[in-house]
Amino acid sequence: MASYYPEPTNIWESIEYSSLGTSIAESLWAFPTLETIHVIALVTVFGTIAIMDLRLLGLAGNKWTVLEMSQDTLKWTWAGFILAAITGTLLFTSKASTYMVNPYFLVKMGLLALAGLNMAYFHFVTYKTVNDWNASPVLPSGAKFAAATSLVLWIAVVFCGRAIGFTLGIYY
Amino acid sequence: MGDFFYGLTDWLRTTSLLDAAFWIETTGFNRLLVENFWGVPIAQVLHIIGIGAAFAATLMMTLRVNNMAGTSRSIPEVSARYVPWIWWGLLWIVASGMLMLWAEPVRNMVNGVFWVKMALLVVTIFVTLAYQKSVRSAATVGGAGWNAGGGMRLTGWFIIILWCLIMAHGRWIAYAPV
């Protein structure tokens, strides 16, 4: 069968013109359906992270210990994140070369990396002493800083995600 | 399904909603939102943040009723933490939704998907109100060892499904021809 797509000139075009990429791009329902699942996954990630961050900031849920709150929310955060990553990757394949020149997409990826680093630092450094402040309503400044940074980064991720939709095709 | 939405949108075009949408487009606030490139995206970001807060709070309540999370706290304690976030979140969602509607009135008001979303929202509000009332009273009467019955547990998941349907319709508004 003849291909209607030009010969790819870089890796992003190779992804975009792959059978997976073109199937999603050409389908009437695939892209909106993936976007819908992406949004549901994203609000689950953002909402459960916000619950944990508000506890670390001492603004809500102070009756819960930090460990209890973490147990309640973390598995849902990860489930949402994995689903968002899978659907996000599939969305990316359909317009890979357009996304790769969009500054909001690149900034979003950078913000996600920063959110990951922030979480890793909190988990491997600040969280080591959690037993000392687990039940305290007032938490160490390191925990508060991680929570505030996380909230700001995730709101910025949501903003960039929306900005991509409004600027796709502007940049070449 | 597509025929249903097409027919509904076709009918909406014959109602006074079309005139109302055109009138909104003449208002200064509509101009302000439309002429500012970031007006609609920022309203959408606010909308998503509100959905995140209300949906996660609803999820935590459902998980507690199903004994899947928050079991270290009683149901009234979990309610006190999450129920205000559900209702304040909903208020936030409606307010940011109004901004989006005012910015793009034809796209929303003359769109079958939008009105099904609104119907689902109303159903969700009433089911949630009844659910929260029955859970609270049963948990108060039942005391610390109370466990929800199968119907109550399932209703929690039904509310989660309603939220997912609302979000799905919210996304598909953009893809429905007006």
Q: Which among A107, A97, A105, A92 has a CA at the least distance from the CA of A34?
A: A92
Give the pLDDT score at A169. 80
8 Å CB contact between B68 and B43: no
Q: Which residues of chain A have pLDDT under 50?
A: none
Q: Please, what is the average pLDDT of chain A? A: 94
How many interface pairs between A and B have CB atoms less than 8 angstroms apart?
A: 89
Which residue in B has a C-alpha nearest to residue A157's C-alpha?
B45
Instruction: Tell me the mean pLDDT in the region B73-101.
Output: 96
Residue A48 resides in a domain: yes
Residues of chain A in Cβ contact (below 8 Å) with chain B: 32, 35-36, 39-40, 42-44, 46-48, 50-51, 60-61, 63-65, 68, 71-73, 76, 155, 158-159, 162-163, 165-166
DSSP-assigned letter for residue B36: S
- B-chain CB neighbours of A91 within 8 Å are none
Nearest residue of A to residue B172 by CA position? A32
Separation CA A13–CA A24 (nearest Å) = 14
Question: Quick one: pLDDT at residue A138?
Answer: 78
Containing structural domain, residue A105: 21-167
Q: What confidence score (pLDDT) does residue A2 get?
A: 56
Q: Please count the other Cβ atoms lying within 10 Å of the Cβ belonging to residue B27.
A: 12
DSSP 8-state code for residue B175: G
CA distance A80 to A53: 17
Tens-place pLDDT, residues A90-110: 999 999 999 999 999 999 999
Q: What pLDDT shows up at residue B177?
A: 75
Cα–Cα distance, B3 to B8 (Å, whole number): 8
Answer for the pair A93, A18: CB distance below 8 angstroms, yes or no.
Answer: yes
Domain annotation covers residue A41: yes
Backbone dihedral angles phi then psi of residue A170, each to the nearest 5 degrees: -75, -40
Question: Is A163–B37 a contact, with Cβ atoms under 8 angstroms apart?
Answer: no
Total domain count, chain A = 1
Residue A153 domain flag: yes
What's the rounded Cα separation, in Å, for the pair A157 and A120?
Answer: 18
- Res B176: pLDDT: 84
pLDDT at A166: 95
Nearest chain B residue to A65 by CA: give it. Answer: B72
Round to whole Å and give the CA distance between A68 and A72: 6
Which pLDDT does position B144 carry in this prediction? 77
Q: Which of B72, B113, B162 would best serve as a mutation to test chain A binding (most A beta carbons within 10 A)?
A: B72
Cα separation of B162 and B77, whole Å? 25
Q: Distance (Å) from the C-alpha of residue A116 to the closest C-alpha of chain B?
A: 19
pTM: 0.94
Residues in Cβ contact with B16 at an 8 Å cutoff, skipping those fewer than 6 apart: none
- Per residue in B112-136, pLDDT (tens digit) is 999 999 999 999 999 999 999 999 9
B18–chain A nearest CA distance, Å? 25
Contact B48 A39 (CB under 8 A): yes
Query: CA dist B18 to A121, B75, B106, B109, Å?
Result: 54, 46, 7, 7
Q: Provide the Cα torsion B21, A158, B46, B172; round to 10°.
A: 30
Phi-psi label, residue A27: left if phi above 0, alpha if psi -120 to 50, beta otherwise: beta
Q: Give Rg (Cα) of chain B.
A: 19
Q: What is the mean pLDDT of residues B167-175?
A: 95
Q: Chain B residues with CB inside 8 Å of A32's CB?
A: 171-172, 174-175
Write out pLDDT tens, residues B60-76.
999 999 999 998 899 99
| Nearest CA among B100, B98, B117, B107 for reference residue B18 | B107
Task: Tell me, yes or no, whether A92 lies in a domain.
Answer: yes
Token readout for A133 is 């402040």
Backbone angles phi, psi at B136, to 5 degrees: -60, -45
Residues B21-39 pLDDT 10s:
999 999 999 999 999 999 9
The fraction of chain B above a pLDDT of 90, given in percent, is 87
From the CA of A84, how many Å to the nearest CA of chain B?
14
